[in-house]
């Protein structure tokens, strides 16, 4: 569904990605892992059109995404969440999700101005859909609450619901469990499994090894801007290059063990 072929990215003289190639199959849950600063978020920014690649090809269902504007890429069925949460804190949860849908509401300006029946019907439908999406992440009971009152983990879940509101076929999640407590992680794992069962293709960046290994069918590993391994969770866990990439660093990166659940 998503294909990267020999993608590179330079910032000035700094080469951040080199020769990055991998494919995310339709209907799969796919993971991208790697130490801090490896270039993972940059990969998402290239896919979603926030940055332009310095070289290589990026395709969604065989159509090139290079040079396509971010909002057009969203319309082609690509949704994402951000490593640094981006929600409207002063708005209710329901409003946050409804805003995510607006790229897809096709009423015109006159209908908006005069509140014509077509507009009101569509508005009602989008509120119903927003309630449904909030229920997928276990937040429907808080639909009317102000987003700022949510815990950090709940804000991440709200961002997921908002990303779903853009009607993505492919959903990119940048560190979905960062800042969540273990209870929230367990809930989110089940919720993402349900979302995948509904037919969404999911591509996540994640540092929490138990989470990423438990959810993903395949995982690619990025180290210093290069893909050093790609395979099933078991293949990745036992790959000597991957173990070296994680153990060979002096920062406080999580180890590749099932116990890693800080």
Ligand X SMILES: Nc1ncnc2c1ncn2[C@@H]1O[C@H](COP(=O)(O)OP(=O)(O)OP(=O)(O)O)[C@@H](O)[C@H]1O
Segment lying near Mg ion (by CB under 5 A), choices 75-83, 118-126, 149-157, 224-232: 75-83
Sign of the Cα torsion 232, 236, 241, 245 reads: positive
CB 216 within 8 A of CB 233: yes
42 touching Mg ion, by CB under 5 A: no
41 touching Mg ion, by CB under 5 A: yes
Residue number with CB closer to ligand X (42 or 239): 42
Shortest separation between residue 51's beta carbon and ligand X, angstroms: 7
CB 117 within 8 A of CB 148: no
Long-range pairs for 45-51: beta carbons < 8 A, 24 or more residues apart: 46/7, 46/9, 46/17, 47/2, 47/4, 47/73, 47/78, 47/172, 48/73, 48/74, 48/78, 48/80, 48/172, 49/73, 51/9
223 touching ligand X, by CB under 6 A: no
Q: 4 - beta bridge partners?
A: 22, 58
Shortest separation between residue 100's beta carbon and Mg ion, angstroms: 22
CB 253 within 8 A of CB 246: yes
Pick one of Mg ion, ligand X, none as the site partner of residue 168 (Cβ within 5 to 8 A by kind): none
45 touching Mg ion, by CB under 5 A: no
Sheet of strand 63-64, all strands in order from the earlier edge strand to the far edge? 14-24, 2-11, 55-60, 63-64
Helical H segments across the chain, by residue range? 40-47, 70-75, 93-101, 109-114, 117-136, 152-164, 182-197, 209-215, 233-237, 240-247
Shortest separation between residue 137's beta carbon and ligand X, angstroms: 22
Residue number with CB closer to ligand X (47 or 171): 47
Residue number with CB closer to ligand X (83 or 122): 83
| Residues 36-75 close enough to bind ligand X by CB under 6 A | 36-42
| Residues 80-99 close enough to bind Mg ion by CB under 5 A | 83
Residue number with CB closer to ligand X (40 or 210): 40
CB within 8 A of 4, min separation 6: which ones? 20, 21, 22, 23, 43, 47, 56, 57, 58
Pick one of ligand X, Mg ion, none as the site partner of residue 118 (Cβ within 5 to 8 A by kind): none
Shortest separation between residue 212's beta carbon and ligand X, angstroms: 13
Shortest separation between residue 232's beta carbon and ligand X, angstroms: 22
By CB under 5 A, the count of residues binding Mg ion is: 3
15 touching ligand X, by CB under 6 A: no
213 touching ligand X, by CB under 6 A: no
Pick one of ligand X, Mg ion, none as the site partner of residue 34 (Cβ within 5 to 8 A by kind): ligand X
**CA-based angle 29:100:45, to the nearest 5?**
55
81 touching ligand X, by CB under 6 A: no
Query: Which positions touch ligand X (CB under 6 A)?
Result: 11, 16, 34, 36-42, 83
Query: Which positions touch Mg ion (CB under 5 A)?
Result: 40-41, 83
């Amino acid at each position: 569904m998503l294909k990267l072929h020999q993608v590179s990215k330079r910032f000035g003289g700094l080469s951040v990605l080199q020769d990055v190639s991998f494919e995310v199959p339709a209907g799969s849950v796919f993971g991208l892992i790697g130490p801090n600063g490896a270039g993972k978020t940059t990969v998402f920014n290239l896919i979603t059109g926030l940055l332009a690649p310095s070289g290589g090809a990026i395709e969604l269902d065989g159509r090139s995404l290079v040079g396509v504007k971010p909002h057009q890429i969203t319309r082609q069925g690509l949704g994402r969440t951000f490593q640094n949460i981006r929600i409207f804190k002063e708005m209710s949860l329901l409003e946050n999700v409804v805003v995510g849908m607006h790229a897809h509401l096709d009423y015109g300006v006159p209908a908006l101005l005069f509140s014509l029946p077509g507009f009101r019907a569509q508005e009602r439908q989008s509120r119903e859909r927003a309630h449904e999406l909030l229920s997928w992440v276990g937040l429907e009971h808080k639909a009317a609450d102000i987003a700022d009152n949510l815990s950090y983990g709940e804000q991440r879940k709200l961002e997921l619901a908002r990303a779903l509101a853009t009607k993505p076929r492919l959903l990119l999640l940048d560190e979905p469990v960062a800042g969540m407590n273990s209870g929230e992680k367990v809930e989110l794992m089940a919720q993402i499994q349900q979302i995948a069962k509904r037919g969404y293709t999911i591509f996540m960046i994640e540092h929490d090894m138990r989470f990423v290994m438990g959810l993903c069918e395949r995982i690619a590993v990025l180290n210093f801007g290069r893909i050093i391994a790609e395979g099933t969770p078991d293949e990745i866990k036992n790959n000597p290059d991957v173990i070296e990439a994680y153990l060979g660093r002096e920062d406080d990166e999580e180890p590749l063990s099932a116990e890693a659940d800080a």
